[in-house]
Structure 1
Amino acid sequence: MAADDGGRHGWMFQEEADWYNEVVLGAVVPGDWWRRLPHPLRSWLRNTVGVYLIYFISGFLWCFVIYYWKRTAYIPKDSIPTMEAMKKQIVVASKAMPFYSVLPTISEYMTESGWTQCFFHISDIGWPMYLIYLFLYLTFVECGIYWIHRVMHDIKPLYKHLHATHHKYNKENTLSPFAGLAFHPVDGILQALPHMFAPFVLPTHFRSNIALLFMEAIWTANIHDCIHGKIWPVMGAGYHTIHHTTYKHNYGHYTVWMDWLFGTLRQPEVIFKMD
């Protein structure tokens, strides 16, 4: 399918982005100075504010539930990370998030310019094709993130200078939902690149692409909380905790399929059960 008639309706994507800007920035940024910024800068500011809000709201709620309200049901006492560990993760993530926000901003700009295969309405292609394309999108992202993540480990200079920042958290009592975005900014951007490239090779629903990119913040919080939900084939926290302790297993993102296919899967032997 053509990308919304070859991008001739790019104004629709820009109007959508402007609406996002009004909803987010109009609600949390004092004054109207941001409305005088060029459109790409407004979008970057909105993406930055949005990722901070998602990170801190979901992170604090998540930690409150699993470490205080329901901690005896979820995590043994000796596996709860220290406040100091969580503060360090917050600092690392907070420094990186303005850089992370560049990626969705560029993605939106390319879509508005008609360079991608994004479409605006699901009705443009119908629900059956939307679901097929969504499946292909998620498969593309899963494959891409697996290999980028694995390369970050296999190429030693990349690991030393980029990915090692995230692997400082290598035990159950140092991992927390706040570790989910605690990456070197270049590392975080590289691992999110499949979301940016997917619309170039697949017809992609614009809103779904933006939503899935921001859902990464919640998903990464989930796989760093050490709580394994045992929902096959989901790459739950039990699998990802193993990745943080062995450094050579379970590179996958949403599922275990890529690790199973390429021989890097390791099953959790000791798991935390959800109540």
Structure 2
Amino acid sequence: MADEYLQQFTDVSTMFNQVILGHLLPTSLWGTLPHVMQTWLRIYLPGVLLYFVSGFLWCFVIYYWKRGVYVPQDAIPTNKAMLLQIGVGMKALPIYSALPTLSEYLVENGWTRCYARVSEVGWPLYILHVFLYLTVLEIGIYWMHRLMHEIKPLYEYLHLTHHIYNKQHTISPWAGLAIHPGDGLLEATPHIITILIVPTHFLTHIGLMLFEAIWAMNIHDCIDAKMWPLMGAGFHTIHHTTYRHNYGHYTVWMDWMLGTLLDPAEEKGKKVA
């Protein structure tokens, strides 16, 4: 019975593999690969497409079509800076894709607390599980990110790759994935830890893993959309310029509780003064 239940997860993953890879590649190139390799390829190829399509559209709007509207002209990164960020991201993306692949492997083998359908728990419990998932994830990523700064070897050998972009005119949406592969894996590890301890709807987990890439690009566009209590680009840009504030992921609540929050309004007031 347990094997039959777990087969549901494998069937869902297989369906995604067939639909997505079937539209991107000839079956002869992926059809004979082991299931786990098909899953990795299904995550990696759309990841590349999402990165380039959303990145180009994002940059076209804020740097060319609406030039000077959302970002001051003197804060627009150079094409050279953006190309360097793309290069770093492309080198790391194959390794990034291994972590969501691992998470699906763990789910399919029954090592997590994922469930297949919302109807198994009902909508009230499902909503509670999503809240718990995001809460545990926020705590985990906050501390992983903060330790990347406070443990010197981790910063020098891993996180510094991302923090060479430390001024507004060097940060762009492309910088969202311009991270050392080891750094990216460590900071995303809380996603796996969370599904080991929190009951989680499988498709919701997959969706949130995909959303990570979009969120990473959003918080690096330097546009202060005044998204409090969300950790928008206004807060995250400060993180890149001070190195010791705003470690949070989706929200500011961990920074607020632990005294590492610096509000963009406060920072702007200091500069004016």
Contact in 2 for aligned 1:8/1:114 (Cα 8 Å): no
Query: How big is each residue's C-alpha offset from its partner over 1:79-134, in whole Å with a ceiling of 9 and x where there is no partner?
Result: 10000000000000000000011111111011111111101111111111100000
Secondary structure at the residue paired with 1:173?
A: helix
2:247 aligned residue: 251
Query: How big is each residue's C-alpha offset from its partner over 1:129-165, in whole Å with a ceiling of 9 and x where there is no partner?
Result: 1000000000011110000000000000100000000
Cα offset, 1:32, TM superposition: 2.6
1:143 aligned residue: 139
Cα offset, 1:71, TM superposition: 2.3
Mapped to 2, the partners of 1:227 and 1:190 lie a distance apart of: 27
Secondary structure at the residue paired with 1:64?
A: helix
Query: How big is each residue's C-alpha offset from its partner over 1:244-265, in whole Å with a ceiling of 9 and x where there is no partner?
Result: 0010000001010000111100
Mapped to 1, the partners of 2:90 and 2:80 lie a distance apart of: 15
Gaps of 5+ in 2: none
2:256 aligned residue: 260
Following superposition of structure 1 onto structure 2, how do residues 1-275 of structure 1 map, counting pairs within 5 Å? Answer: 8-268=4-264, 269-270=267-268
Tell me which amino acid in the other structure corresponds to 2:212: E
TM-score, normalised via structure 1 length: 0.94
Q: 258-267 vs 22-31, which deviates more? A: 22-31
Gaps of 5+ in 1: none
Secondary structure at the residue paired with 1:266?
A: coil
Mapped to 2, the partners of 1:120 and 1:70 lie a distance apart of: 44
Cα offset, 1:228, TM superposition: 1.0
Tell me which amino acid in the other structure corresponds to 1:86: M
Mapped to 1, the partners of 2:69 and 2:188 lie a distance apart of: 33
TM-score, normalised via structure 2 length: 0.95
Cα offset, 1:53, TM superposition: 1.4
Query: How big is each residue's C-alpha offset from its partner over 1:9-50, in whole Å with a ceiling of 9 and x where there is no partner?
Result: 111111111111112211112343201000001001111112
Q: CA RMSD in A?
A: 1.3
Cα offset, 1:8, TM superposition: 4.3
Secondary structure at the residue paired with 2:93?
A: helix
Mapped to 1, the partners of 2:196 and 2:185 lie a distance apart of: 17
Flag the 1:73–1:134 CA change in 2: closer, same or farther, 3 A. Answer: same
Q: Whose relative contact order is higher, 1 or 2, with alpha carbons under 8 Å and at least 6 apart?
A: 1
Cα offset, 1:6, TM superposition: 5.2
Mapped to 2, the partners of 1:147 and 1:47 lie a distance apart of: 26
**Which runs of at least 4 in structure 1 moved beyond 2 Å after TM superposition?**
5-8, 30-33
Tell me which amino acid in the other structure corresponds to 1:145: I
Mapped to 1, the partners of 2:65 and 2:3 lie a distance apart of: 50
Secondary structure at the residue paired with 1:90?
A: helix
Q: What is the aligned-residue identity percentage?
A: 57
Mapped to 2, the partners of 1:121 and 1:50 lie a distance apart of: 25
Mapped to 1, the partners of 2:259 and 2:25 lie a distance apart of: 48
Q: 195-204 vs 153-162, which deviates more? A: 195-204
